[in-house]
Amino acid sequence: MQIYVVRPGDNLWSIGRRFGMAPGEIARVNKIPNPNNLVPGQTIVIPAQTAPHVIKAGETMWLIAKNRKIRVQEIMAVNPGVDPNKLRVGQIIQVPVVRGPARTIEVNAYIDPMAVPADPTAPVLEVGRDLTYLTVFSYHVTLTGDIVGPDDRAIVDAARSVGVSPVLVVTNFDGRNFSPDLAHAVMVEPQVKERLIQNIFVHLRSRGYYGLNIDFERVRPEDRQLLNHFLDDVANRMRAAGYPFSTALAPKTGDWQTGEWYGAHDYRAHGRAADYVVIMTYEWGWSGGPPYAVAPIDKVQEVLDYAVTAIPRKKIMMGMPLYGYDWTLPYVPGGPWARTVSPQEAIQLAAVHGVGISYDETLQSPHFRYTDGNGREHEVWFEDARSVDAKFKLVNKYGLRGVSYWVLGHDFPQNWLVLEGRFVVKKH
């Protein structure tokens, strides 16, 4: 796997000639939005090189994959149109060149069925081969201990069909924001807490979920110990029933960090209670704030520096964004919020407006500015192959359990190409 940055004057033919790969194949695997209009600064992922293989008598795709110690799916991916059940002696197919040993990690992705504009199962089926868990966002708690969730049956079935373990997420979201009052109410009253736990079990069993994720945010700092005890209770009950248990954590750089989003989150307590934790290392650049990288590498690293002192490394899932933002300038506090864009949309914007993409080496994040048809200037920050590769290096540097994506439904094919080039994804 190589990452190539488009230069002025490049086209797919010249890039293909450089790497010995067909231009059409480069466009296909990268899902390049504008194959005839590459953007300077755009990244292109060149997957592992392939080699020709002549089919011998008695050979099958399974036997070829076994002998080369690769997956049948990897061979099929580089042979579109080849029917594995109709191989002919003497037929030439392409097989991936076997790479060296790769580290095995776990990969989680959240999905909000209500936010996916079309079929919410489509992104699950598309990238399921690269996921360990699919965490369905979300079941909301009520003041009485009930939980209200999305229509999740099709998504859970889709996850199971591609070997992904579905995880039920429970939040204190009230439809507008995370509610400290809701969190307090379900944690402080023993009867309400017990009703909540029983309702969680009902949905875990009836929906066929693999595990549970608790994502309580904006909990009152004074409820910190109440939250810790609640997580201990839930963890013990889940573990006794055989369900893996995880939590979501705000990105802190020290236990001293307080405030409505941080104060109640006790890294050590979560690390003790949970089988794994998702640290939400994104949203430094957010839709209501000034233009900035969503997940700047220096900020992510500061959080990990602290996290590994409080939580076992084997339990830490580093958060990664699958999206960016498009701000209209000048930024005014309290003004219109930035528009969420996928990395593919960001590249299309740059191409349409004829601007190049810059890359901030300190933040390890791509960005650009453009002027729209009404004369308004915009600033876009997003993710590309370079920025995700920089984050993957942190996974190895800190020896983390894996990564967790927010959120499926934003088109970012290069992320999955780089992931497959760096790691083997664990399945349960």
Q: Which positions are annotated as active-site residues?
A: 217
Name which of 317, 320, 321 is nearest 402 in CA terms: 317
How far apart are the C-alpha atoms of 412 and 406, rounded to whole Å?
Answer: 12
How far apart are the C-alpha atoms of 389 and 419, rounded to whole Å?
Answer: 8
Secondary element (H or E) of residue 420: helix 413-422
How do beta strands 339-341 and 358-360 pair? unpaired
How far apart are the C-alpha atoms of 126 and 301, rounded to whole Å?
Answer: 30
Backbone angles phi, psi at 190, to 5 degrees: -55, -40
CB–CB of 412/383 below 8 Å? yes
Here the tokens at position 41 are 């600064």
8-state DSSP, 110:
E
The SS3 of residue 166 is strand
Query: In residues, how long is the chain?
Result: 428
Secondary element (H or E) of residue 86: none
- Percentages helix, strand, coil for the chain (3-state, rounded to 5) are 35, 25, 40
How far apart are the C-alpha atoms of 168 and 28, rounded to whole Å?
Answer: 34
The SS3 of residue 264 is coil
Q: How many degrees, rounded to 5, is the angle at CA 235 between CA 245 and CA 147?
A: 75
Residues 6+ apart with CB under 8 A from 346: 324, 326, 366, 368, 380, 382
The SS3 of residue 421 is helix
